[in-house]
Structure 1
Amino acid sequence: MKLKILYGNSQIFKIALGIAILVIVYFASVFYKQMQNLESSVNVIANATETQLELERVLSTISIYETNLRSFIITNDSTYLEHRFLRKGEIELNFDRIKKLVVHNPSRTKDVDQLKKMIDFRFALFKETLLLAKSKNPDKSPLIAKLKESSDFTEGMKNYVYQTIDTESDKIKTHNDNHQFELQDSIISAFLLVLLSLLILLLSFNKMNVDISALQKANDELQYLNHSFNNAEKIAGFGHWKINLKTKKYFFSDNFFRLLGVQPNDFEPNIENFSKFIHPEDVDFVIKAHRDSLKNHNDTSVMFRYILPDGSIRYIWSVGSFTQNTSGDLIKTGVNYDVSNLYKKTLELEENNKKLQSINQELESFNNIVSHDLQEPLHKIQMFISRIEAKEMDLISDQGKVYFSKIKFSANKMQTLLIDLVNYSRALKGDKVFVKTDLNILLSQVLEDLSLNIADKEAVVTLENLPAIKVIPFQVEQLFINLISNALKYSKENIVPEISIFEEEIFANEIYENKIITNEEYCKIVVSDNGIGFPQEYANKIFHLFYRLDKDVKYSGTGLGLAICKRIVENHDGFIQVNSEPNIGSKFAIFIPRNI
């Protein structure tokens, strides 16, 4: 797990690699120092050994010299004296080599100088002994005394030399022990250095494999994304392009070429070749906008037309912006969208809007006609009905009175229908001027307007504390007029109508069109009654235009009242629901957003 974290975090791996390199450098420096010490030990041992050898040679030469002298004295044979000068020269060479070997050792240099003096003195004794040996003096006692002196001096000199040799031997032994220790230490250091190097090599190799695998995976994903993006370009109908402002090189995607009606890479990507596809009326301003953008580094958004090789015209929307690549070069990247279908639909939409405006004007004219032209003759009819009813009723036959009653009923029904049509057209027009309104005050006015109807039914209307929210006042007033009138109209006979209007808390299980309704977002106003009610299966149908659930003539109506209510609530971005049960009553719930 820790190794995965190390591999996964390049920063941690770099730190670990840096520490490992420092450790290697440390071990390498220690190993180098040990090699230097080892080389120094070898040189010291070799120097001491060679010094010891040269001293042995000096003693050997002195011994030979002394032996030859004694042989000459005994035999009086001069051949024993032939090489005495040559051997002295050898001793001089030995001393020259010894001095070079001990040149960096001051104490040993003093010993060598002392030995040189002793050698010189010994040769002086050799010379004196030789002269006494060659003399014809019969008295041999001086010669014997000189020989004894020479022998004693030689013995002392040998002791001095052997003492020096022993010192060099001890030195060799000490350095040899140190050499062995340093050799073992160097082997351990070399082993650790090689082991650590191999470990770093393995870790680096493993990391390289991980990176290569990750790179291969990223490359595969990039190829997949590139393939997906190319497919997305074809499906969505767009192509992308870019230009490096430093190198002046363009790049067009495959679908960029396809939007031009050619195959990918049919021509070299550049502005000159691309401009051949732009509509002659658009080419100048498109090229100018593009070049000004490259000069001022401003983003672009232009719409123009292509002329494809088959002569068809396509509408293109091109947007471009600037960014920098990893090298720091400024890059302009753009996307060209084929908006031909959208452009055509926009034209169709504009045409439909014009038609809709014309229909709205016709609807407004109709509203005016209903409000004035149709109601004026109806008012006259009702006026003459009132006059006949007041002055001429006694002159009319019984059958005529029946006909007259039907005329009066139809005229009143016509007036109610015209009023409802006017109200519905006003709701459709939806002049949305929202004003924060206290619903308590608004409903008090509504009840004042309906006071005669309420008194006629002897109804009890209860208002509870209602909120103040932003509404279209005259529409909400019409909404409550319709709902209260509806409750009065469909009340049960011989039972006092009870109508309650109050705000109800919205619970968590309130859902409308798969959306959860919350108390923070919506205000819920309830209008409930104890009227005749209706089956719940008709809860949605009663809000349809001209839909009347009860066809009984005693319940007059136009089928527009609840449709107007639904439209008014929708004008407030709300919705209306109803729960009802026959002979129990109905409960209308109005949901209006608290913040419009």
Structure 2
Amino acid sequence: MKHIQLHKSPLFLKIIFVISVAIIFFIGGITFKHITVLKKSSAYVSNSYEVNIELERLLSCIKDAETGQRGYLLTRDKKFLRPYHNSGALIKKSYQRISELTANSRTQQSNLKKLQYHINRRLNYLSKNLYLIEQKNYKIKTLDSNFVTGQKAMDSIRYRIQSMIITQKILLKNRQKDYESTMNYTPLLIYLTLIITLILITIAFVKMNRDLILLKNTIDTLTIAIEANKLSEIVGNFGSWQLDIETFKYSFSDNEYRLLGCEPQSFEASKEEYFKFIHPDDLESVKESVKNVSINNAFIPITYRIIRKDGEVRYFKDKGQIVSFSSDKKTFIGTTRDITSEINDRITTEERNRELESNNKELSAFNYIASHDLQEPLRKIETFISRLVSKDYDNLSSSGQQYISSIQKSTNRMRVLIEDLLQFSRTNKMEKTFEEVDLNTLLENAKQELAQIIEDKKAKIENSALPILKVIPFQMQQLLINLIGNSLKYSSQDRTPIIKIDYSKVIANEEELLPETHHKYHRIIIKDNGIGFDQEYAKNIFVLFNRLHNKNEYQGTGIGLAICKKIVENHKGFIFAKGIVDKGSDFIIYLPAE
């Protein structure tokens, strides 16, 4: 997966958007909080003001009750008792209101309870004094004592009310401090958040502007790519199509129409319209393939014939695959290629292969005749010549004897040639069963096979340790026999034959004779000090029946090295020859290493 930097990703804009919205909500929350604090502060001021008014009203009611009582005591006129009688309900009402306004303050509730005690006490003494006066047999001393006690209760009421007013002011002041403390840092916080929001929006704007420029460049590039694709479709003789899997709506490229012999976009892209061009014999198989796309979202490449608008029959091959987008939308894209020329070439190739197969059969029949049926008359010739030599050789003239000797040599060469042909035929036809074999064992078997000629020529064979390989044992042994035998056959008369066999494991691109690949090979070099050959004939010596020397100089049929080449090819390897005249030759074998 390719690394995508965050600031270049669409996710970056989404993050900025989320952060900006969060900041706006944060600022809104702070604003709402401070409006709420301001509202509460206003409520606290109004509450404190109302509490103070009610306390003053409560004190006034008590004073009215006291003043009415005094007027009555001085005048004995009961109309002065009217404020006294009305004060009870007013005091109760005012007290109830104060209790409601200070419900959230434990201190004020405590003060209010104490105030109630003193109010009740004061009203109680007022009631006692009125009772004594109405009885008319009261004692002045008792009345004076009640007045003094009542006055003290009134002083306590004034004190308690004043205390409650002071407490209310203190509460208001503390609440005001909290409000001011909150309001002091709020502007700074809002200012900072606004700056951050502005910075983020600016970054987002810059990013979007860059994206727009990039989008424009991408659109330009895409336009060029689309035109290049149209041109490549024309040059490559293929068209393209798309199928929306959700809507099953098709779209064809311009060259798709041209392949059908129609003008681009000359009819609506649909399977029904396209089916009209398909050859009747192939229509059902194409419909079944399209049905599989609809059911299994799968499309197996299919080859079919179409009849162009001009009546020409062409071969088409369709291939497609599903493409998924980030939005989980799936589209089936495909290509239609005109493979008429390929089909025609394949038909031509098959016809030529049949001809080649027929020729091979004829050649095999000829080879069979040459290698089997010719042996019978050859054996008879050899038998008759043998009898002629054993019975009538001395009766022949010298020229006749010479003719008989030439016939013997020719029949011998004929027999060797037929045997080599049989061996070459077996190399081509026999079953190629690979087995893991120790090449050192096969080399020893080859030495045993050539033991007589090695002993006759006093040859020396030196070899390094050979590997265990998966080969066709008989063929690999035959390869060693033929190559060592070839070195013995073309040994020099002036020196003792020395044959060296070296093994190593190599890499193809390190060898000048192999292709430039990284494949590994087993390299086996068979080097001799024989008569050698001119390097210009290095390739020809592996050709069937090709000889570099006259048959009178060295025996041979020109088949041995051709068999070697065929054996190496059967093992997917290579064989090369290097030679220097009168110095010797090297045969280099490369077998692939698994």
Give the equivalent residue in structure 1 for 2:352: 352
Give the equivalent residue in structure 1 for 2:564: 565
**Structure 1 residues 202 and 232, CA gap change in structure 2 (3 angstroms):** farther
**Structure 1 residues 225 and 443, CA gap change in structure 2 (3 angstroms):** farther
Q: Which amino acid counterpart does residue 173 of structure 2 have in structure 1?
A: N
Give the equivalent residue in structure 1 for 2:589: 590
**Structure 1 residues 419 and 193, CA gap change in structure 2 (3 angstroms):** farther
Q: CA deviation at 1:179?
A: 1.5
**Structure 1 residues 248 and 305, CA gap change in structure 2 (3 angstroms):** same
Provide the rounded CA distance (Å) in 1 between the counterparts of 2:430 and 2:203.
Answer: 73
Q: Which amino acid counterpart does residue 305 of structure 1 have in structure 2?
A: R
2:554 equivalent to 1:555: yes
Give the equivalent residue in structure 2 for 1:164: 161
Q: CA deviation at 1:498?
A: 2.5
Q: For residues 66-99 of structure 1, give each alpha carbon's deviation from its aligned partner in whole angstroms, at most 9, with x where no partner exists.
A: 99xxxxxxxxxxxxxxxxx99x999999997886
Q: Which amino acid counterpart does residue 574 of structure 2 have in structure 1?
A: F
Give the equivalent residue in structure 1 for 2:369: 369
SS, match of residue 303 in structure 1: strand
2:182 equivalent to 1:181: no
2:485 equivalent to 1:488: no
Q: For residues 325-373 of structure 1, give each alpha carbon's deviation from its aligned partner in whole angstroms, at most 9, with x where no partner exists.
A: 7777886665433322222222122112101101211221221232145
2:192 equivalent to 1:195: yes
Give the equivalent residue in structure 2 for 1:530: 529
2:514 equivalent to 1:515: no
Q: CA deviation at 1:59?
A: 8.6
**Structure 1 residues 6 and 102, CA gap change in structure 2 (3 angstroms):** farther
CA contact 1:430–1:571 (8 Å) conserved in 2: no
295-304 or 349-358: which moved more?
295-304
Give the equivalent residue in structure 2 for 1:76: none
Q: Which amino acid counterpart does residue 575 of structure 2 have in structure 1?
A: I
Residue segments in structure 1 that go unaligned for 5+ positions in a row: 68-84, 128-141
Q: Which amino acid counterpart does residue 526 of structure 2 have in structure 1?
A: V
CA contact 1:417–1:558 (8 Å) conserved in 2: yes
Give the equivalent residue in structure 1 for 2:270: 270
**Structure 1 residues 318 and 591, CA gap change in structure 2 (3 angstroms):** same
Q: CA deviation at 1:573?
A: 0.5
Provide the rounded CA distance (Å) in 2 between the counterparts of 1:9 and 1:332.
Answer: 26
Q: CA deviation at 1:574?
A: 1.0
Give the equivalent residue in structure 1 for 2:306: 306
Residue segments in structure 2 that go unaligned for 5+ positions in a row: 68-81, 131-139
**Structure 1 residues 268 and 413, CA gap change in structure 2 (3 angstroms):** same
2:307 equivalent to 1:280: no
Q: How does 1:462-473 map to 2 (within 5 A)?
A: 466-473=466-473
CA contact 1:42–1:179 (8 Å) conserved in 2: no
TM-score normalised to structure 2 length: 0.71
Give the equivalent residue in structure 1 for 2:74: none
CA contact 2:237–2:259 (8 Å) conserved in 1: no
Q: How does 1:414-425 map to 2 (within 5 A)?
A: 416-425=416-425
Provide the rounded CA distance (Å) in 2 between the counterparts of 1:37 and 1:7.
Answer: 44
SS, match of residue 504 in structure 1: strand
Q: Which amino acid counterpart does residue 242 of structure 1 have in structure 2?
A: L
Q: For residues 368-399 of structure 1, give each alpha carbon's deviation from its aligned partner in whole angstroms, at most 9, with x where no partner exists.
A: 2321455555556666665666644774456x
TM-score normalised to structure 1 length: 0.71
CA contact 1:55–1:161 (8 Å) conserved in 2: no
**Structure 1 residues 264 and 567, CA gap change in structure 2 (3 angstroms):** same
Q: For residues 24-64 of structure 1, give each alpha carbon's deviation from its aligned partner in whole angstroms, at most 9, with x where no partner exists.
A: 76x87677566544433332233323544676789999999
How many residues of Structure 1 are paired with residues of Structure 2 in the alignment? Answer: 565
SS, match of residue 432 in structure 1: coil
**Structure 1 residues 335 and 96, CA gap change in structure 2 (3 angstroms):** same
**Percent identity for Structure 1 against Structure 2:** 32
**Structure 1 residues 379 and 394, CA gap change in structure 2 (3 angstroms):** same
Q: How does 1:398-547 map to 2 (within 5 A)?
A: 412-413=412-413, 416-429=416-429, 431-461=431-461, 466-501=466-501, 504-507=503-506, 509-510=510-511, 512-516=514-518, 518=520, 522-534=521-533, 538-547=537-546
CA contact 1:323–1:332 (8 Å) conserved in 2: yes
Provide the rounded CA distance (Å) in 1 between the counterparts of 2:7 and 2:94.
Answer: 62
CA contact 2:239–2:255 (8 Å) conserved in 1: yes
Give the equivalent residue in structure 2 for 1:47: 47
Q: CA deviation at 1:490?
A: 1.5
Q: For residues 403-461 of structure 1, give each alpha carbon's deviation from its aligned partner in whole angstroms, at most 9, with x where no partner exists.
A: 77666656555555555455445545575343444545544444444344334433334
Give the equivalent residue in structure 2 for 1:73: none
Q: CA deviation at 1:201?
A: 6.7
Provide the rounded CA distance (Å) in 1 between the counterparts of 2:435 and 2:45.
Answer: 111
Give the equivalent residue in structure 1 for 2:77: none
Provide the rounded CA distance (Å) in 2 between the counterparts of 1:254 and 1:209.
Answer: 39
Q: Which amino acid counterpart does residue 530 of structure 1 have in structure 2?
A: N
CA contact 2:544–2:562 (8 Å) conserved in 1: yes
Provide the rounded CA distance (Å) in 2 between the counterparts of 1:450 and 1:380.
Answer: 29
Provide the rounded CA distance (Å) in 1 between the counterparts of 2:565 and 2:99.
Answer: 121
CA contact 2:278–2:307 (8 Å) conserved in 1: yes
Q: For residues 473-507 of structure 1, give each alpha carbon's deviation from its aligned partner in whole angstroms, at most 9, with x where no partner exists.
A: 44334423321221112111142222344x61224
CA contact 2:118–2:153 (8 Å) conserved in 1: no
**Structure 1 residues 155 and 439, CA gap change in structure 2 (3 angstroms):** closer
SS, match of residue 505 in structure 2: coil
CA contact 2:111–2:164 (8 Å) conserved in 1: no
Q: Which amino acid counterpart does residue 367 of structure 1 have in structure 2?
A: N
Give the equivalent residue in structure 2 for 1:237: 238
Q: Which amino acid counterpart does residue 570 of structure 2 have in structure 1?
A: N
Q: CA deviation at 1:535?
A: 5.2
**Structure 1 residues 517 and 576, CA gap change in structure 2 (3 angstroms):** farther
SS, match of residue 592 in structure 1: strand
**Structure 1 residues 355 and 218, CA gap change in structure 2 (3 angstroms):** farther
Give the equivalent residue in structure 2 for 1:574: 573
SS, match of residue 527 in structure 1: strand
Provide the rounded CA distance (Å) in 1 between the counterparts of 2:408 and 2:469.
Answer: 42
SS, match of residue 506 in structure 1: strand
3-12 or 273-282: which moved more?
3-12
Q: How does 1:149-160 map to 2 (within 5 A)?
A: none
Provide the rounded CA distance (Å) in 2 between the counterparts of 1:92 and 1:194.
Answer: 56
Provide the rounded CA distance (Å) in 2 between the counterparts of 1:108 and 1:572.
Answer: 115
SS, match of residue 564 in structure 1: helix
177-186 or 4-13: which moved more?
4-13
Provide the rounded CA distance (Å) in 1 between the counterparts of 2:230 and 2:277.
Answer: 22
**Structure 1 residues 561 and 287, CA gap change in structure 2 (3 angstroms):** same
**Structure 1 residues 57 and 304, CA gap change in structure 2 (3 angstroms):** same
Q: For residues 550-579 of structure 1, give each alpha carbon's deviation from its aligned partner in whole angstroms, at most 9, with x where no partner exists.
A: 569523444443233122201110112344
Provide the rounded CA distance (Å) in 1 between the counterparts of 2:440 and 2:58.
Answer: 137
